Each structure stands twice: as structure tokens, then as C-alpha cells.
Amino acid sequence: MNSSDGATESGAGTGSGNDFPGLINKERYWSHHSQRLFHSVLNLIWLAVSLALIFILVACSSEEPNGTPPRKEPSRVIEDPTAEPDAASRVAAPQGRHSTIDGVFAPGEWDEALEIDLPNGQLLLMHAGSYLYLGIRSEKLGLGSICIIRDEQIAVLHSSAALGTATYEKAGDSWRKSRDFIWTNRAISNDQQALDERQQHLEREKWLASNGLMGNYDEMEYQIAMPDDQIRLAVTYLLSPEYTSTDFWPATVAAGCRDFEPLQSDAPETVEFAPESWMTVIASQE
């Protein structure tokens, strides 16, 4: 009996001794598993935080997305309130009719022209065909000089007792003469020889004007070729009798064209033209 009881107690003790290491091993297993799970969760949290930071950095980046054009710097015209906008240096000449270049504003001949006031008269602008027609009506007899820029060359179209063209090409900060005046078209009559000479001048020089002795003393007419329906120019009209004052257009025209006074036979060797201060005349379709 005692023997059985002892055996039973001994067996019970043995059983208890075999289960204790197993429990320890299980606890160690779950402890190790919990640590691995904790580290995994911690890694996931760091990964989520890293992705969030990357997303924020990309969203706040100043670089433009692929395919998006780079930002353009603001125009200096907008930044500088003293600068004139380009629109201020352009004017539209209305559709008119072919004028007869004889120094007489015939009735109805200039009715469609744009009229611009000058200090001592009016400037008239219109176009027909491929030509700009430019008229000057003045209270005084004067000498006309139209400065135009074409193919990187400046030409001075002068009308006084005769017609002449001087040309200039860019040379550093100024413009150097490449062609001096050759005076033609002195005739004031309308005989065939004079008409032929005027037509030849128009075809050769791409412009024509009435000389200062033709027609009415207070009216001068120009016909100027207008490639691509536009031309950049400045107008000066030197007033008699002293020829010391000048009507000019536009009001922004700088020295050079404004002060050009070819009262002698030779034009100046160099001139400081400023074509950026001139006006671009556009052929309007209206």
C-alpha cells in the first residue's frame, strides 16, 4: 500500500518534473516570438514614417514635374512701370486708295487716312496695295526726311528741291554711311519725261515723294514700299524759313533721325540712330 502510494507519489513527482522544462521552453518560445513580432511592427512603423516623409518632400519640391514647361521670368515691361509697352510703338494705317504723288491733296484722295496732329500741321497715313502713303500738311514750307529700317539697314528718304536716298549700316554704337545722296527728280511738271523719271525712281528706290516745289507749298506726299504689310519709321519735317525747328513723329523719336538736316549735298558720315524709338506702321484691313 505504502509501496503503491510511494510509487504513485514518485510517478506524480516525475510527471511534474518533466512538464516544467516544457513550460519554460514554451515561455521562451513565446517571448522570442513576441520580440520578433515587436521588431517587425517597429520596422513597419518606420517604413510608414519614411514613406510619409518622402511623399511630403516630393509634394513640397520646387522642381517642376516631368513634361511641365519651366516657369518663365516676369516680363521686364511688367516689372518696370516706366517702360513703354510694345503696343505704344505700333499704329495701324487704314486701307485707303492709291494717291497721285504730285504734292496736291486732291478732294477725297486722303479721306480714309489716319490723321495725326503735329505741332505745325498734320501727318496722314494710309495704305493701298503694297505701299504706305504718307502725307504731311503743314502751315509752313518744309523739307521732309523719312527714316526707315529695312534688312538691318537704315535709309533716309529725303525730299526738298529734289529727291535723294542715303543709307547707313550698323557700326558699333552708331551707324556709318554706306551710300550718300544722289539727287534726282527735280522736275515739277507732269510731262512724260518727268512721269517716267518718277516711275523709275519708285521701282529702283522703292519709294517716291513730291519734291518741295511741286503742287501746294504746304502739302507733301510720300509713297513707300511696305514689305510684309509693315514698316518701322520716323518722320521729320524741317520748317522754313530758318530751318532751325522740326516737326517730328512719333514724339519718342530720339536724336539722329530727329536732328537729321541734309541741307548740304553730303550726309553725315556717322549718325547715332535709335530705331527702337520709332514707330511700326501696320497695314490694317479695315
Instruction: Please give the grid coordinates belonging to residue 245.
Output: 525747328
Cell 551710300 belongs to residue: 179
pLDDT at 17: 42
Q: Is 96 helix (H, G, I), strand (E, B) or coil?
A: coil
Cite the beta strand spans of 8-141 per DSSP E.
Answer: 90-93, 114-118, 121-128, 131-138
What are the backbone angles phi and psi of residue 199, rounded to the nearest 5°?
-65, -40
pLDDT at 49: 66
pLDDT for 33 beyond 60: no
Rg value, the chain, Cα: 45
pLDDT at 259: 82
Stretch 70-93: mean pLDDT: 48
Instruction: Please give the grid coordinates belonging to residue 196.
Output: 517716267
Instruction: Please give the grid coordinates belonging to residue 73.
Output: 521670368
pLDDT at 38: 59
pLDDT digits (tens, 9 = 90+) for 248-282: 999 999 889 988 876 656 889 999 999 999 999 99
Stretch 10-33: mean pLDDT: 43
Share of the chain above pLDDT 90, in %: 57
The alpha-helical segments, DSSP class H, found in 110-239 are: 192-205
pLDDT digits (tens, 9 = 90+) for 183-222: 999 999 999 999 999 999 999 999 999 999 999 999 999 9
The mean of the pLDDT values for the chain is: 79
Query: Which amino acid is present at 3?
Result: S
pLDDT digits (tens, 9 = 90+) for 133-188: 999 999 888 999 999 998 889 999 999 999 999 999 999 989 999 999 999 999 99
pLDDT at 286: 78
pLDDT at 176: 97
pLDDT band at 2 (very low <50, low <70, confident <90, very high): very low
User: Distance between CA 101 and CA 134 in Å, rounded?
Assistant: 10
Cell 510619409 belongs to residue: 52
Q: Looking at per-residue confidence, does 131 or 266 come out higher?
A: 131
Picking from 131, 130, 133, 129, the residue whose alpha carbon sits closest to that of residue 112 is 133
pLDDT digits (tens, 9 = 90+) for 217-245: 999 999 999 999 999 999 999 988 877 78
